[in-house]
Structure 1
Amino acid sequence: MGKTCVYLRVSTSIQTTDNQLVSLQNYAQQMNFEISHIYRDEGVSGTKDKRQGLDEMLKDAVKGKFNQILIYDISRLGRSLKHLINILNDLNKANVRLIFVQNGIDTSNTTGQMMFQLLGVFAEWERNTIVDRVNAGLDRARLQGKKLGRPTSINESVINAVKLLRNKNLGIRKIATELKLGVGTVIKILNPSNSTMVKTY
């Protein structure tokens, strides 16, 4: 099967890529793949187009250092549909196969490429739907004269949306921008007991 590389990513510095690596190593062993390179992006949001580990991997793909990439799931590679498709096109040109273990997607065939693009569409649609719904609620609250400066005065759906977007590995500043909230408000929602300890990555 040639040389295999692994790409790992987590959004925050308090998370670890170790669990992803163990899962991918187990998969590689089952499939008799030999892992030759490991690329990591730790504490980096999937919404960022520029990532050191990803950029290095794409350069090495062009150089022919491997011919297939193992990734835990599609969200580790990216959350923007446009960015995902651009990566797929670049890897196709380099004749590099993408395998998303959790999603069961293999881009070496037409069905796999179609599923890859569909998952990207749904991931982006889900995120945009959440943001639109919450912003509509915030706009209604503002029109009603409600103060939105503290978690205790925010609708429960807003608090849930902040936590949901965080679980989807968005950084605090990105969540604040998407939901039109202050960074401090997002921090207090995520960690009301000790908000000064939360980093705004």
Structure 2
Amino acid sequence: MTVTLGYAAAAATGQGLDEQLAELAAAGVDPRRIFTDRAAGSADKMRAGLVALLSYARSGDVVVVVALERLGRSVSEVAQAVADLTTRGITLRCLRNGLDTATSTGRVVADVLTELAGLDGVPAHRS
């Protein structure tokens, strides 16, 4: 059974969750299936909501986010989250940029992000 899950994270700059929660609900995500994090304190603080979402999601599920950057604090973290979801057979839908890994274009973008995640820690080649 496919389950649609949502994830919202408030930015440290004071952005609240209300707008994201409203957008996720408008996209058809059951409010009881939305995982959240509120930024508070240091950047290395564990994001319990994201960890719980990634633990709960199963192959065939759909994860919906308002913006791709909600999945991490850096390009590397976002790429790693996309790679994790894609590898596990979980569809990712991003409302603001139209990314949907259920489409062929979305899968190509996810593949590129997965490749970028694999480069984390690999020194750049110099000629």
- Sequence identity (%): 27
**Distance in 1 (alpha carbons) for counterparts of 2:38 and 2:31:** 20
**1:12 and 1:51, CA in 2 relative to 1: closer, same or farther beyond 3 A?**
same
- Contact 1:3–1:65, Cα closer than 8 Å, also in 2: no
Tell me by how many angstroms 1:15 deviates.
Answer: 3.2
- Secondary structure of the residue aligned to 2:9 is strand
**1:102 and 1:49, CA in 2 relative to 1: closer, same or farther beyond 3 A?**
farther
The equivalent of 1:157 in structure 2 is none
**1:34 and 1:9, CA in 2 relative to 1: closer, same or farther beyond 3 A?**
closer
- Listed as ranges, the gaps of 5+ residues in structure 1 are 122-201
**1:21 and 1:68, CA in 2 relative to 1: closer, same or farther beyond 3 A?**
same
The equivalent of 1:108 in structure 2 is 102
Aligned pairs (5 A) from 1:1-201 = 2-12=2-12, 14-28=14-28, 37-43=33-39, 48=44, 50-61=46-57, 64=58, 67-115=61-109, 117=112
The equivalent of 2:120 in structure 1 is none
**1:68 and 1:36, CA in 2 relative to 1: closer, same or farther beyond 3 A?**
farther
Q: How many residues align?
A: 112
- Contact 2:69–2:78, Cα closer than 8 Å, also in 1: no
Tell me by how many angstroms 1:37 deviates.
Answer: 1.3
Q: Which has the higher contact order (CA 8 A, sep 6+)?
A: 2
- Contact 2:62–2:91, Cα closer than 8 Å, also in 1: yes
**1:41 and 1:76, CA in 2 relative to 1: closer, same or farther beyond 3 A?**
same
TM-score normalised by the chain length of structure 2? 0.70
**Distance in 1 (alpha carbons) for counterparts of 2:35 and 2:7:** 5
Select the structure of larger CA radius of gyration: 1
**If each structure's helix is expressed as a fraction of its own residues, which one has the higher value?**
1
**1:3 and 1:34, CA in 2 relative to 1: closer, same or farther beyond 3 A?**
farther
TM-score normalised by the chain length of structure 1? 0.47
The residue type equivalent to 2:83 in the other structure is N
Tell me by how many angstroms 1:83 deviates.
Answer: 1.7
The residue type equivalent to 1:23 in the other structure is E
- Contact 2:62–2:90, Cα closer than 8 Å, also in 1: yes
The residue type equivalent to 2:106 in the other structure is G
